[in-house]
Amino acid sequence: MSAVSSLRAAGTPPFFAVGANDLGSSARRGLLTTAHGVVETPNFMPVATVGTVKGITPAQLHDVGAQILLANAYHLALRPGVDVVEELGGLHRFMGWPGPILTDSGGYQVFSLAALRKVTEEGVEFRSHIDGAKLALRPEDVVMLQVRLGVDIMMPLDECLPAPVGRPDAERAAARTLRWACRSLAVERGDGQTLFGIVQGGVFADLRRQHAAELVALGFPGYAVGGLSVGEAIEMTREVAAATAAALPTTAPRYLMGVGRPEDLLRFVGMGFDLFDCVLPTRNGRNGMLFTWSGPVNIRLARYARDPEPVDAACDCYGCRTFSRAYLRHLAVSGEMLGPQLNSLHNLHFYLDLMRQMRAQIAAGTFLQWANDRIARLEQGGNA
């Protein structure tokens, strides 16, 4: 029985249903139904790596319209430990977020953060980036960690090579990722827990298409696209992402991992991607970089020292309703914690509002022209 059919008990809604397709692009509007709630797609997942979106409470995430969060199994396994989270009632209860949660496996983190990696067909061996402890994870272990965390959507262990990757290495990594995906599928999951496949293949469109077809043959309820936006030129990212999206079934959600800027999201939704995550709203918020429809604002600049206007007069986030640019600049240059908090909240509001507007445009069949206008405004503007 495939992972898709196992989720379709009689009377329950399908895991993913497309409700509307844009007329001029591959953008689609859909619903992702999980045990912890429904996610309207396309959507953006705020990043809660270790079980917290940096500086933002779950209540604020709810207020700002977040529908699903992303956490990281690797990070949580190292600290506080999956046994702790499990004992405390699972990740939703532990972090006070009752809505859907997707966890990244941590494959990317093992390959980017951990030291002394040894990759074999069996799995990965590495040292914790926190305390240097020697650890080994097989693909089966990685699924089990996520099962025990109790999350809604899980990612299998994949082999993520740092860019640039030559063709032979990309082929070997994709082949191993496929075999690991197969082993991951064999692990028993909890009720309502979904495992996505992850398409790899570097920057080689034909390899991506082939890997996608092989994963689809295994039958996943959703597909992530990994190994992009890892250092290659953005034009290359776009080309490969478009080719990969086109090779995936229209009936399953497509998740483009770790992407991106607002203008990127507009483009990738147009290619048919449904889910995104990125640290930009929170990381840039901590650095005083605020997203607006006319481009980024670097709130630390002296020009804002006496500016009585909100960051964005059209924004109804708490910060824009309450504070001037001058106050936010004062917080930033004074190193006050409230600055990163308010800036991150504004940026998350911007991203989630961007996704809301995209969904409305798709439903109206007017996405393409609107998105192109917005991309032009975003790329021309900016007073950072």
Residues carrying an active site annotation: 104, 277
Report helix, strand or coil for 367: helix
Other beta carbons within 10 Å of 204: 18
What single DSSP character describes residue 120? -
Strand partners, 127: 115, 134
Nearer to a second copy, 6 or 57 (CB): 57
Q: Quick one: 94 or 273, whose CB is closer to a second copy?
A: 94
Find all residues with CB under 8 Å of 316, minimum gap 6, and list them: 349
87 vs 373, beta carbon nearer a second copy: 87
Give the Cα separation of 179 and 112 in Å (integer). 22
Phi-psi sector, 116: left (phi>0), alpha (psi -120 to 50), beta:
left
Does residue 342 bind a second copy (CB under 8 A)?
A: yes
Q: Which stretch binds a second copy (CB under 8 A): 111-119, 271-279, 328-336, 363-371?
A: 328-336
Could you say whether residue 199 binds a second copy (CB under 8 A)?
A: no
Edge-to-edge strand ranges of the sheet holding 37-41: 16-21, 28-34, 37-41
Nearest to 6 by CA among 177, 270, 193: 193
Cβ of residue 301: shortest distance to a second copy, in angstroms?
Answer: 14
Site size for a second copy (CB under 8 A): 39
Residue 206 neighbours by CB under 8 Å, 6+ apart: none
User: Which of 330, 356, 377, 382: binder of a second copy (CB under 8 A)?
Assistant: 330
Residue closer to a second copy (CB basis): 206 or 309: 309
Q: Does 128 bind a second copy (CB under 8 A)?
A: no
The binder of a second copy chosen from 268, 323, 367, 370 (CB under 8 A)? 323
Of 152, 275, 340, 343, the residue at the interface with a second copy (CB under 8 A) is 340
C-alpha to C-alpha distance for 66 and 61, rounded to whole angstroms: 5
Task: Name the minimum Å distance from CB 274 to a second copy.
Answer: 28
Minimum distance from CB of 309 to a second copy (Å)? Answer: 11
Residues 91-120 that bind a second copy (CB under 8 A): 94-96
Gyration radius from the chain CA atoms: 20
How many of the other CB atoms lie within 10 Å of CB of 325? Answer: 22
The helices-and-strands tally (H runs, E runs) of the chain is 16, 17
Q: Which of 65, 318, 382, 384 binds a second copy (CB under 8 A)?
A: 318
The binding track of 281-310 with respect to a second copy, each residue x by CB under 8 A or -, is: ------------------------xx-x--
Only segment of 28-36, 235-243, 292-300, 338-346 that touches a second copy (CB under 8 A): 338-346
- Site residues (CB under 8 A) for a second copy, limited to 244-273: none
Which is it for the CA torsion 374, 379, 382, 384, positive or negative?
A: positive
DSSP3 helix / strand / coil % (the chain, rounded to 5) = 45, 15, 40
Among 182, 301, 333, 363, binds a second copy (CB under 8 A): 333
Name which position in 111, 327, 350, 367 contacts a second copy (CB under 8 A): 327
Q: Which of 6, 33, 52, 287 binds a second copy (CB under 8 A)?
A: 52
| Contact status, residue 143 vs residue 187, Cβ threshold 8 Å | yes
Considering only 8, 79, 117, 118, the residue that binds a second copy (CB under 8 A) is 79
Nearer to a second copy, 87 or 316 (CB): 87
- Closest contact distance (angstroms) between CB of 290 and a second copy is 17
Query: Rounded to an integer, what distance in angstroms lies between the CA atom of residue 16 and that of residue 2?
Result: 15
Residue ranges that bind a second copy, judged by CB under 8 A: 50-59, 79-80, 84, 87-89, 94-96, 305-306, 308, 318, 322-324, 326-327, 329-331, 333-334, 336-338, 340-342
